Amino acid sequence: MSYKKLFIFFFVLLLIGGCSKNTNKANIDEKIFSEGEQIVKLYAKAYNGDDDAGEKADDLAKSFLKKYDEDTYSFSSTKDKLFVRNIKLLQLKYDTYSIQTVSDMFSGDSDSDATKEEVKNLLLQIKDEYGISLDE
């Protein structure tokens, strides 16, 4: 096999290996990461209009945050704790957005637009920091 063919072969392997959508960039505890990843993906779907995903995300987030409560759970690293805090922040922002959306329907205001932007920015931050794909 020539060097050119060998180079192309390894380049393709590198591309395939690098195409993983969820990378756990911050090396979060695998169990915490996989549970949190599921919640983030559901909130992303809810952000894009899937109402059922919002309810599922909320239920999972409540269970997740109860399980990994800072006062009772012994985290192995501050990265894990920060990840859980980001899930909590996402839950709070999304809940606020949901409440404001309902309020906007009755009042005719558009107060929820700014909060929706905050949810979007937090989802993108989580995507960048932790390597969680927001696509299904």
| Inside any domain, residue 36 | yes
Provide the domain count of the chain.
1
The first and second tokens of residue 36, run together, are: 């949190």
| Inside any domain, residue 53 | yes
| Inside any domain, residue 136 | no
Q: Domain containing 79: what range?
A: 3-130
* pTM confidence score: 0.81
Q: How far is it, in rounded angstroms, from Cα 124 to Cα 30?
A: 21
Which pLDDT does position 104 carry in this prediction?
A: 87
| Inside any domain, residue 76 | yes
| Inside any domain, residue 64 | yes
| Inside any domain, residue 42 | yes
Q: Is 17 left (phi over 0), alpha (psi -120 to 50) or beta?
A: alpha
Q: How far is it, in rounded angstroms, from Cα 55 to Cα 33?
A: 20
pLDDT tens track, the chain, 136 positions: 555 554 455 444 444 444 445 688 899 999 999 999 999 999 999 999 898 999 999 999 999 999 999 999 999 999 999 999 999 999 999 999 999 988 888 888 877 888 999 999 999 999 999 999 987 6
| Inside any domain, residue 102 | yes
| Inside any domain, residue 135 | no
**Helical ranges in the chain per DSSP H:** 3-18, 30-47, 51-67, 78-107, 112-130
